[in-house]
Structure formats: structure tokens, C-alpha cells
């Protein structure tokens, strides 16, 4: 099964790198005037980060695809259904907190850094796609 983000089919080689680094438990700690520890916990209802990471050998898209995906991710109010290889689905928004939600780089030809004036079909490496479950 392919990975899809709304109408976009993403490269099969993407990996969810932060799948197990998130906790559903929110915790706040502090101390009372008496010196006793105060611990409050609750369940997070949303906000799980989903970072899909690609690489030079397994996650390529064309320049046209990169432009269309970038436009969709930066549109105001952008929200998508993400479907993973195994059929799990998540309602997500782009995560722009640390810059662009989409990171790509031109796929260099051996001994070259890539075309200076890329065309629509030029290949790009999909380095990462930062999303957040809502």
C-alpha cells in the first residue's frame, strides 16, 4: 500500500522516525510551599508529531511534485488525511514550527550538484515531511 497525504502519493521509502518518541501523557511537576511534590497528569488529545524521513536512495519526487506539495502544505488552513503503508490513517496539518514542513534537495548526478536551472521532471530527494496529528 502506498503512503498518501490527501491527493498526493508519497515515496514508499519514507519512514516515520519519531513514531515512538511521543507520549500521550502530559505531565506538569512542581513543589508545594510545604515542599511536597505536585504532579499533574492528563491525556493529550492532539498534537502528536509525525515526521516522515526520506533519503537519497529511496525517496524521490519530481520538481513538479515538490512544487505542488509545497503549495498545498503552505496554504492557509491546510489539513490532510495521511495514510501509511499499513493502512493506518491520521488527520494531520503541516508542522511549521521549525521552518518549512517540507525539506527537499536536488538529486545530484554523479560528480554534480544538480541542474542550475531544473525542469519540471528534475528529481528531488524528499528529505523530510513534518506533520502534526489533529
pLDDT, tens digit only, all 134 positions of the chain: 789 999 999 999 999 999 999 999 889 999 999 999 999 999 988 999 999 999 888 899 999 999 999 999 999 999 999 999 999 999 999 999 878 999 998 887 655 555 566 777 888 999 999 999 99
Number of domains making up the chain: 1
Q: 80 - beta bridge partners?
A: 92
- Supply the pLDDT for residue 120: 79
What pLDDT is stored for residue 117 in this prediction?
66
How many angstroms separate the CA atoms of 92 and 50, rounded?
8
Distance (Å) of CA 63 to CA 10, 47, 68, 117, 126? 13, 30, 9, 11, 10
Task: Give the global pTM.
Answer: 0.83
> What range defines the domain where residue 7 resides?
3-133
CA–CA separation, 124 and 64 (whole Å): 10
Amino acid at each position: 500500500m502506498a503512503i498518501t497525504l490527501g491527493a498526493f502519493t508519497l515515496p514508499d521509502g519514507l519512514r516515520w522516525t519519531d513514531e515512538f518518541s511521543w507520549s500521550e501523557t502530559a505531565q506538569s511537576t512542581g513543589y508545594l510551599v510545604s515542599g511536597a511534590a505536585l504532579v499533574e497528569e492528563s491525556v493529550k488529545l492532539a498534537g502528536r508529531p509525525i515526521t516522515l524521513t526520506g533519503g537519497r536512495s529511496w525517496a524521490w519526487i519530481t520538481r513538479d511534485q515538490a512544487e505542488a506539495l509545497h503549495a498545498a502544505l503552505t496554504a492557509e488552513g491546510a489539513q490532510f488525511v495521511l495514510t501509511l503503508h499499513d493502512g493506518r490513517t491520521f488527520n494531520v496539518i503541516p508542522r511549521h514550527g521549525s521552518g518549512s514542513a517540507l525539506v527537499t534537495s536536488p538529486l545530484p548526478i554523479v560528480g554534480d550538484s544538480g541542474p542550475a536551472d531544473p525542469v519540471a521532471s528534475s528529481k528531488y530527494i524528499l528529505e523530510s515531511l513534518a506533520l502534526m496529528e489533529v
